[in-house]
Structure 1
């Protein structure tokens, strides 16, 4: 379980060591050091190849800040939160009720490694067991953040999750990332996913069409991950060169799409 949390956390920790970091997430560095004191040692210890995942996190953070600036009374559902310190980075006002949700074992680890915060509740549950929604206050705007989670659910589970949340709240924003159908169907052979015994279970060639799942749901925009201008501006030269080469491969540049919807 811990191994599957490490790759993105390590990327954030290494980003924090850059002269001009993307996130500047000191919590990621502290937690990573506790999990693996030698995480930055060895041949690839300081590689910034994972910086593309940090770019994804930055997009989600920026969209969340934008939504909360206009909805200071919102409820935030941070689904599949892992060991991400988003609530500490964003530091929402006390009028926002924040819920970090992940499997019980992950939440237990989170309690050990990250500080508690007022108005932030930890929920240990599978995201697809929607009984956890009964603990969430209704009648307020909702922000759903699901970073790096949706491709690991089946399409019926994704549809049920999104439509149930739309039905439960008067208004809100949903932001998550998806992969295309080819990435889903070939994920069982992906060496990185196989290393962590993981596999995608859904993919969407045109995620904007998910708005058709509910009459109140509206597609807003997509943000780049690979080929992001911010990635090219912040990454060390060697990393920039490699990502420029990778984005020349057909389909890779938009192989992960960061999208947001509103209702």
Structure 2
């Protein structure tokens, strides 16, 4: 799967979904362009070493989505640093780690760090980010209780889960929290949660906050233009089978006649504002969040061993830097104002 060619690492990602590459790309891009806000030197190092078309991936993701991914890392880093300040020898577990480089950003020289993900991801990760003295990779599903036995639990446990729970339904997420309460009681976990309104696709906003209200059409149209520009950039690197799958998943009353971009663009121009909102959800995010959470207090009903420590909007305390694009600043304001994405911190 890995082949060293001169100074570049050639990786065959055929067994790995593209999803783990997007956060890596996002952290590197934001670190390069806005280092005063966020700096992930290891992410920059990785994308410069890997033989992959990150530029096209970057263009196909949209600036606001890349910035949101980096913002999540910023908030998680702050939470980890606060915890290990009180528990300097703690164990930190990165659930659904992908190619995350959090350890390199927060290491205090004493923590133990575990990166947990599926075997096909871990296989690649071990080549890109080899295990060290205080880091270990665990190839397992986060729902399998077996991995809990590998975690040192005498000095506190802090877990992070970035972009993970939205792929699983509420019953599975509940199962995970009960598992942790049973096997690793006292653990603290931070993750991002999307509100139920993020799943509403009614022409006013679209999923994941990728739009704006009809009362502010200029902002709405600007966000949709940013989305469609990113989608056009990414269309060239998508396999034909995935293009056909995405078109087949559309919930709008009409669909493009083929997977050719010209057909898509002709179809898009004929859609109403409401239909464009629906298409943004179907195309850009592929699916709605399977486990939306309006308020973290709802989790107490899942298991009375869950205690909410904190929750706050995704972009809290992150400056609306004038150097950021208009679409990024709009997305930050819109997301926080509507409470669409939150950082949630609980103890079990």
TM tier relative to shorter chain: 0.7 to 0.9
User: When the two structures are aligned, how many residues end up with a matched partner?
Assistant: 255
Matched with 2:245 is none
Q: 1:253 to 1:22 in 2, by over 3 A?
A: farther
Give TM-score, length-normalised by structure 2.
0.65
Over the aligned positions, Cα root-mean-square deviation in angstroms equals: 2.9
* 1:191 aligned onto 2:283: yes
What are structure 2's unaligned runs of at least 5 residues?
1-15, 202-206, 208-248, 250-280
Q: Identify which of 305, 308, 319 aligns with 1:216.
A: 305
Shift of 1:109: 1.0
Matched with 2:90 is 74
- The farther-off stretch of 1-10 and 41-50 is 41-50
Q: How does 1:239-254 map to 2 (within 5 A)?
A: 239=325, 241-246=326-331, 253-254=338-339
Q: Partners of 1:221 and 1:179 in 2: how far apart?
A: 15
Matched with 1:206 is 295
Q: How does 1:1-263 map to 2 (within 5 A)?
A: 1-18=16-33, 20-40=35-55, 44=59, 48-49=63-64, 50-94=66-110, 96-184=111-199, 189-194=281-286, 200-226=289-315, 228-233=316-321, 236-237=323-324, 239=325, 241-246=326-331, 253-263=338-348
- The 8 Å contact of residues 22 and 54 in structure 1, kept in 2 or not, is answered as no
Deviations 1:56-111 (A, max 9, x none): 111001101100111123222210011011111111333x3221100111111111
What are structure 1's unaligned runs of at least 5 residues?
none
Shift of 1:247: 5.7
Q: Partners of 1:99 and 1:246 in 2: how far apart?
A: 32
Q: Partners of 1:114 and 1:174 in 2: how far apart?
A: 23
